[in-house]
Structure 1
Amino acid sequence: MTSADFPDAWYLILSSRLIPDLDGGYTISTLARARQMADAGTQPLLLTVDPGTPEAHAQHRATFVERGAAVASEVFRNLFDDAVGADGGAAEWLRAAATPGEADSAWEYRDVAGGAVSLPNVIDPDWHRTTAPIVIRDATGAPVGGIPGFGALYRAWLTHLGAQLREENPRPLVVICESRQLGELIVGWGDDDVRIIHTIHTIHLEAPYRADSDLNALWTRWFEISPRFDAVLWPTVHQRDDVRERFGDAANDLVAPHAVRAPAEVVAAADRDAGRVVVLGRLAPGKRLPAAVRAFARVVAEVPAARLELWGAGAQRAELESLVAELGLTDAVSLPGLTNDPGAVLDRAAVYLTTSAFEGQGLALAEALAHGTPAVAYDIRYGPRDMLAAGGGILVPDGDQDALVAALVRVLTDADVRERLSTEAVAAAAALSPARAMRTLAAACGEALSHPRRR
């Protein structure tokens, strides 16, 4: 793939934050999109708006480059790094965006950007929608004006960046927005030469995660504004179709799964540990790992050599360790912690197991398929149904422990099944290849640029 596949434009990937080993698959897939675009010949800028220190941001970027998740530190830009001028006060673009105003006495404030900016501490799920003044200060710390809320601040920064880029080359901007909250705040950005492509990372529903379940509160307003984005990229057909049935068709919705890179060589099923089952992800309630451990106790009763590895970190670690001890599974179930090499974990495994209650797509499952690791998964919203439609694993009814145990036992005890599923998994992963993802993204960008902005 070459850069000719992408229209001639500046590409900006906008994220709330990008911090190593934080936010799970969101961070991984956002960085992967940027890396895949770079590999295709189109290098985007990665933009973040978290008010960390320049030193912390530099360390985050260096870690991503060291791990191969980013091509160079220079592809990152952060709003609050850019907020500081040469004299230590607010940068000129920020002063220019400010209007007369002072801090609102109803709020406590905290200084960021070396004291050049003071942010109101809004303790509210809708903090991003506040219009409480953000105070802009000069090098002495004196206020020089205010900006009415985070949305105005973010749009001022994007306008400044756009002006800088257009001085170098006067071409349009394509913003790939990775965050619903940021999408809410920039959808009204009134620049005719900007197109906004909004990606989706997670489920929009509350428990019990049926098509007609209540919307997650963060999504309610988003669905009202979603037709104004120039394109919306859903990670699965299942979720896109659920949304269409509930909210109607939209000319700007596309299915664009998060892509995974295939290894240079797939380890044959016969060369793996025939009893090893792995889970990759956060040790969090939504993954239903206690239920997975209880189910595995039944698997071990039938397959004494079976072993389960729960890779990841999270709030449930202590609870899981206690449960493993309580069930007498300390020789069969382990919690090795985080890994920066999930491919190596998957290459040793006979089975990848996912017992999540919900997903956006399930990036670890996609990785498993690319590595030829057969999967056993509950049929949840969203991800496994789409990714296993062409084979590569066994899909069982959501919450059916009997079916889950039977599927695990079958794969662990039948070498022919493991080999067949491994072959199917590699073929299924072709639908999640970076080349295919970049063709879809390039086409979406081209379509958006061929029409006036929808906002």
Structure 2
Amino acid sequence: MRYAEDGTPLVLRRFVEGALEHEDHFDADGERIRREEYDREGRLRRTMLWDPGEATAREHVFHRRNGGPMYAQTFRPPKRPGGKPQEESVTFFDEDGNVESRQDGTLTPVVHRALDALSGGHPTIVAVEARQADDDVLGYRRDHVRTVFVAHNSHLRSTSSSLDDLRSTFRKLFRHLDTMGAMVFLTDSQRAEAEALVGRRDNVWVMPHAAPGAATHTEVERDPRLVIMMGRLASQKRTDHGIRAFVEVLEQHPDARLEIYGEGARRAELQQLIEELGVRHAVSLEGFTNQPGREYRRATLCLQSSRFEGAPMVFVEALRQECPIVSYDIRYGPADIVDHGVNGFLVPDGDIPGLAQRTAQVLGDPELAASLRAGCAGVDGRFGQEAFAARWFELFRALDADMPDSVRR
């Protein structure tokens, strides 16, 4: 920190592991007016400018490797306290630091320039998996580029939604289906419900998740009394349903145990529920694990109670380790992965007693448990990495064939 004679701060520097991360500059009243951020090599990468007294920066200037300005984004102050600043304009600079052009709106022009630079005019496929990036890419159209939008979650507002009750992000995507290279869903059931609304489309594909690697931890002994849950401790996962169901399981199998793997915002709430239900001896929050395969291999059953999914990866991971599944039959995924009565059981959405009944049934019948484990065979053929790669390469070839001959030469 450097101060003026009257004690007012002028410059504040922050270092991380000996390297300068950023430097804040203050005016005569001690108000921050500029921040300079540096990369790991010590190069200036961004300058942020504030009007005195404002909590949010009015301008972000992004720099070239030589320190000159590349582009700048300006913002209007938030409309209400605690709100987000409003994107106002983007200014581009040439190599000499002179203003090249200015456009009102968001960073979309910057994204387009970056994609142009990355593709270099060569045949390119751009895959978009985060809905936050949709707006930037939907309007990106080049003869040598085809765009693919991947849905990792339900396009509907809730599990009880009608076919046309779409999330706003997907409503926009569906309006632009004719301009994109492909729309990818993770399950046949989600594609079917989407096409029931928008009609049959040749550019709508299904690409299930791939099971990670081969079966592992085969030396681990299976525990006939152990049930596990795997996933974030978030509202979407409804972990509390699994805990409540297990209370009923314990009435039939007092020596059974439920281990819950994952972290999230609901941890304290779920721990309190375990205490209130008096099942601390049998139900435990185990936190994050970096060996999920080992935990599936130890367990007799995997219990899932999500509110909605796209295609739950934990299902594929569990089957790979010969761990049968008991799950709610929700949109989407469980019915596309679990073969009812063969490698697990599906119960109606929200039916906690149903979860408990099926879980207790498997724990109480070793022959049934063995049969369900045997039913997990074949997961590689459906969800193996070779099948996953083959599906994607088929899509890539189709998109490449759709490009003009002048681009493909």
The residue correspondences of 1:347-358 to structure 2 (distance < 5 A) are 347-358=297-308
Which of residues 134, 141, 145 is equivalent to 2:90?
134
CA contact (8 A) 1:310 1:335 kept: yes
What is the match of residue 58 of structure 2? 109
CA distance in 2, matches of 1:326, 1:213: 41
Give the superposition deviation at 1:402.
Answer: 2.1
Match of 1:387 in 2: 337
2:301 counterpart letter in structure 1: V
1:59-111: CA deviations, max 9, x gaps?
Answer: xxxxxxxxxxxxxxxxxxxxxx9x99997468xxxxxxxxxxxx9x9x84364
Corresponding position of 1:279: 229
Partner of 1:29: none
CA RMSD between the two structures: 3.6
Percent identical among aligned pairs is: 29
For the residue of structure 1 that corresponds to 2:402, the secondary structure is coil
Change (3 A) 1:416 1:267: farther
Kept in 2: contact 1:206–1:213 (CA 8 A): no
Whether 1:290 and 2:228 are equivalent positions in the alignment is: no
User: Which has the larger displacement, 180-189 or 334-343?
Assistant: 180-189
Q: Contact conserved, 1:376 with 1:395, CA < 8 A, in 2?
A: yes
Correspondence list, 1:334-413, <5 A = 334-389=284-339, 391-413=342-364
| Corresponding position of 1:451 | 402
Distance in 1, matches of 2:165 and 2:227, equals 34
Conserved 8 A contact 1:211-1:242: no
CA contact (8 A) 1:89 1:140 kept: no
Give the letter aligned to residue 172 of structure 1. P
Q: Secondary structure at the match of 2:229?
A: strand
Contact 2:327 2:346 in 1 (8 A): yes
Q: Is the 8 A contact 2:124 2:145 kept in 1?
A: yes
What is residue 266 of structure 2 aligned with on the other side? 316
Distance apart, 1:190 and its partner CA? 2.8
2:160 maps to which of 183, 187, 209 = 209
Q: How far has the Cα of 1:147 moved from its partner?
A: 5.2
Aligned residues: 351
Unaligned runs of 5+ in 2: 1-15, 18-36, 405-409
Q: Give the TM-score, by structure 2 length.
A: 0.76
Asked whether the equivalents of residues 180 and 222 of structure 1 are also in contact (C-alpha less than 8 Å), the reply is no
* Structure showing the higher helix proportion among its residues: 1
* CA pair 141-449 structure 1, distance change in 2 beyond 3 A: closer
Deviations 1:207-230 (A, max 9, x none): 243443621122221110123211
Q: Is the 8 A contact 2:216 2:293 kept in 1?
A: no
What corresponds to 1:246 in structure 2? Answer: 197
The residue that corresponds to 1:439 in the other structure is: 390
The equivalent of 1:257 in structure 2 is 208
Secondary structure in 2 matching 1:358: coil
Q: If the length of structure 1 is used for normalisation, what is the TM-score?
A: 0.69
User: Matches of 1:110 and 1:383 in 2, distance apart?
Assistant: 44
Alpha-carbon distance change, 172 to 137 in structure 1, aligned in 2, over 3 angstroms: closer
Distance in 2 (CA, whole Å) between partners of 1:240 and 1:361 is 12
Moved more, 280-289 or 390-399: 390-399
The answer for the alignment partner of 1:301 in structure 2 is 251
Q: CA deviation at 1:173?
A: 1.1
Q: How does 1:221-232 map to 2 (within 5 A)?
A: 221-232=172-183
- 1:296 is displaced (CA, Å) by 0.7
- Secondary structure at the aligned position of 2:377 is classed as helix
Structure 1: unaligned runs, 5 residues or longer: 1-54, 57-80, 91-102
Counterpart position of 2:34: none
Q: Corresponding residue for 1:10?
A: none
Runs of 4+ in 1 over 3 A off after TM superposition: 83-90, 107-124, 134-148, 208-211, 264-269
Q: CA deviation at 1:268?
A: 8.3
Q: Would you say the 8 A contact 2:296–2:318 is kept in 1?
A: yes
Higher relative contact order (CA 8 A, sep 6+): 1
Q: CA deviation at 1:191?
A: 1.6
- Contact kept, 8 Å, 1:89 with 1:141, in 2: the verdict is no
SS of the aligned residue for 1:132 comes to strand
The amino acid across from 1:246 in the alignment is L
Task: Name the SS for the 2:141 alignment partner.
Answer: coil
Residue 266 (structure 1) shift: 6.7
Instruction: Please tell me whether the aligned partners of residues 360 and 383 of structure 1 are also in contact (alpha carbons under 8 angstroms).
Output: yes
- The worse-fitting range, judged by mean Cα deviation, of 232-241 and 208-217 is 208-217
* Higher-strand-fraction structure: 2
Deviation per CA, 1:163-212: give whole Å up to 9, x if none: 2xx6xxxx411112212332332122232111112222111111243443
Is 2:112 the partner of 1:155? Answer: yes
Letter of the 1:157 partner, please give it.
Answer: A
Q: Note closer, same or farther for the CA distance 1:300–1:143 as it changes in structure 2 (3 Å cut).
A: farther
CA deviation after TM superposition for structure 1 residue 445, in Å: 0.8
Amino acid at match of 1:109: R
Measured at CA, do residues 287 and 108 of structure 1 come closer, stay the same or move farther in structure 2, by a change above 3 Å? same
Measured against aligned partners, the alpha-carbon deviations of 1:284-340 in whole angstroms (never above 9, x if no partner) come to 111111121111111111111111111111111111000000011111111111112
The change in CA–CA distance for 1:422 and 1:109 in structure 2 (over 3 A counts) is: farther
Compared CA separation, residues 139 and 229, structure 1 to 2 (3 A): closer
Distance 1:283 1:110 in 2: 37
Deviations 1:381-409 (A, max 9, x none): 00000001373111111112222111000
What residue is the counterpart of 2:10 in the other structure? none
The residue identity in structure 1 corresponding to 2:293 is G
